[in-house]
Amino acid sequence: MSTGDILFQLVSSMRRDEKRHFSKHAAGHRDGPTNYVKLFRSISSMEEYDEDELREQFKGTKLLRNLPSEKRYLYTTLLKVLRMTRYDQGARNLVIAYEEEARILLEKSLYAQAIKRLEKATKIARSYELLPEMLRILEVERTCIQNAPRQNLTRCLEDINSDAHEIVEKLANLNFYRNLYDQMFQLVNANFSNSDEKIERLVEGLSSEKMSTPEQAMTFEAKRLFHQIRVLDAFSKGDMITASEHYLHQISLWEEHNFMAREYPRRFVTLLYNYAGLLIRRGELEELAGILAKLEKVKTRTADEAFVKEHTLLNLRLQLQMNIPHLDEALKLVPAFEDLMEHYAEHFTSARLLTIYHNLAMLMFMCERYDQTLEWMNRILRENNSNYRQDIIKFAFLIQPVIYFELFDSEMPDNLYRSIKRALRKSRLLHDGEAELIKKLCDLGKTQQGEERQKRYLEIRATIDEIYPQVGRPDGPLGIVELRIWLEHKITKNPMNSIYTEWHARGLV
């Protein structure tokens, strides 16, 4: 990858507030914008990096002659500015700042001042269990002790060595839980299809003394991982009760260490969201209000943290209304999603956008608002270049013929079947029998209303039951349950939201 591509990636990743901070930093030059500022503005305006366009823009200027060095200087300056913006954001960055200041003072032989900065750094690092940072602080303190006049010292080398031994012991303890969690996470995601040797190693870890009780974990992070490992283990066995218990232990742990929740709000929000998802799966919706209340109280410092919190809250409110189910109340949340996507546009990944598009498309479909379903479905298909959430992409293609049928009936596009089949094959999403199902859906507009059309609905339902024997389970392929509900609606003439409510009560949605 070229220097220009690397620089473009960094510039593109910067948030608006970070770009503003850089502009203020660069504004200190009174003689107009410098070359690196001009380069920054030019690259910021690009949707894709184009070296030729850059060279043409600065043709005949000194900047072009020094372009390689200007790129390197801009990259270094951006990292410097980003580092400066982080110093007042979080305990770790504050500890690093104090440590750097102590090193500067140490180089100037100002030992007493250096030790005061180290004391500040140590106090914060101990509170937040920043173990690697604590080891670095001890190394600076060791140098101070070896060089400073004895009357300036309150600690000796033996104290340093004792502290270092304790920290190394805690790090080893933490690494055990980290390694075990990584093993568990990988195996669960692979449905335990890995080698017997890896599974044997995991079983050995789960049965070790360190996994007997949470008291074996020596730090907050180690205790958190202990419970998260037990959650994954419970999930792998289908034991939702044990998983719920260990989620609750984690929540209690965070609330006991509320300063950790303030320092790492994204982690705490993710925990609450995962537990809420489990409650929804178990149908324990009465507890969900308490989780939403806890989420409301989470303090955030940065725009990114605020986005994660607001996105999580809105998603859970939608899931709650969809699972009560109160679809009319769920519809009232749609404007809030529009506002969220506009306000936090730069924070959204393709995967998050696709999830929202799918949820709202499904909501509109169940409410028989087909024009709005088409709008959200088209948003999904515009994200088809993404490798994320291919299940949602497929959902849109499966529902597409139904939406066109409801909106246009006999005027459905003639090439719809070919275009859907080609797109699914290109993405390797077309499975056995699905081409036949899509063809029958696309041909609905060619059938006569009345008995012939009713017969076709029954044929399509039989095709779905044949291709997807798991259609009676809520964890089947996306779009299939929705198609089945739509067919019941066409066959029985009952409203789709009534069928959705009935199926939900039977555990089919």
With respect to residue 29, please indicate whether it lies within any of the assigned structural domains: yes
Q: Return the CATH number at 474.
A: 1.25.40
d(CA 395, CA 479) in angstroms, rounded, equals 5
Confidence of residue 28 (pLDDT cuts 50, 70, 90): low
Helices and strands of the chain, counted as H and E runs: 27, 0
Select the highest-mean-pLDDT range: 185-194, 269-278, 424-433.
269-278
d(CA 460, CA 456) in angstroms, rounded, equals 6
37, 66, 86 — which closes off a domain? 86
With respect to residue 220, please indicate whether it lies within any of the assigned structural domains: no
Q: Which of 14-23, 350-359, 465-474 has the lowest mean pLDDT?
A: 465-474
Q: Residues 371-426: pLDDT tens digits? A: 999 999 999 988 866 566 788 988 898 899 999 999 987 777 778 888 888 888 87
pLDDT of residue 405: 92
With respect to residue 475, please indicate whether it lies within any of the assigned structural domains: yes
Q: Which residue's structure tokens are 């990743």?
A: 13
pLDDT of residue 474: 46
pLDDT of residue 15: 78
% of residues, the chain, pLDDT over 70: 93
With respect to residue 393, please indicate whether it lies within any of the assigned structural domains: yes
With respect to residue 79, please indicate whether it lies within any of the assigned structural domains: yes
86, 109, 128 — which closes off a domain? 86
For residues 131 and 174, is the Cβ–Cβ distance under 8 A?
Answer: yes
68, 86, 104 — which closes off a domain? 86
The domain of 504 spans 349-509
Sequence-distant contacts of 372-376: CB under 8 A, at least 24 apart = 373/399, 373/403, 374/403, 374/407
pLDDT of residue 471: 47
pLDDT of residue 88: 55
With respect to residue 150, please indicate whether it lies within any of the assigned structural domains: no
pLDDT of residue 472: 46
State how many domains the chain has.
Answer: 2
Q: Which positions ≥6 away from 128 have C-beta within 8 Å?
A: 91, 92, 259, 260, 263
pLDDT of residue 29: 57
pLDDT of residue 394: 87
* Count of alpha carbons within 13 angstroms of residue 168, beta-carbon side: 7
Specify the 3-state DSSP secondary structure of 109. Answer: coil
d(CA 438, CA 397) in angstroms, rounded, equals 9
Of how many residues is the chain composed? 509
With respect to residue 365, please indicate whether it lies within any of the assigned structural domains: yes
With respect to residue 378, please indicate whether it lies within any of the assigned structural domains: yes
